[in-house]
Amino acid sequence: MKYCKITVILLAVIILLPFQAVLAADKQGISISDREIIERLTRLEEGQKNLQNQINDFRHYVDSRINGLENQVIGLQAQINGLRNLIMAGFGVLIAGMFSLVGFVIWDRRSAISPVINRTRDMEDKQILLLKAIREYALKEPKLSEVLKSLGLL
């Protein structure tokens, strides 16, 4: 029984010994001096300043890239406006060509029809003269007068 009690006590000490070391370490970790706290805060502030500088540098980089892209967009808009003007000029040339073609067709038809009209007038004038001549001759010739009356020309 004595051995049993000693064994239990020995086991309890072996099991609790690591916990005691942990508790002792925690007590030492908690007792940080003011100097160490100030040094850690100083390092933390320097790290924050470095981080802020990196953020500012990145912000300047992003701003410069955005400005570059804006300039590219402005250049592309100028090119698009140039192409739009070129297309509008092309359409203007096409429309002017169509109007000039229609004008040429109208002029050509008038110039082609005017000789026909003049010739038709001349033929009508000659027809009137011939009809007068035949009527006068029909007054002298009774057979011709009968023929013209049968045709309704006298």
Query: What separation, in Å, do the N-terminal and C-terminal C-alpha atoms of the chain show?
Result: 174
- φ, ψ at 153 (rounded to 5°): -100, -5
Which SS3 state, helix, strand or coil, does residue 153 take? Answer: coil
Question: pTM, whole model, 2 decimals?
Answer: 0.44
Residue pair 152/138 in contact (Cβ under 8 Å)? The answer is no
d(CA 15, CA 100): 111
Is the distance from CB of 138 to CB of 145 less than 8 angstroms?
yes
Model confidence pLDDT, tens digit, residues 37-63: 899 999 999 999 999 999 999 999 999
pLDDT greater at residue 111 or residue 16: 111
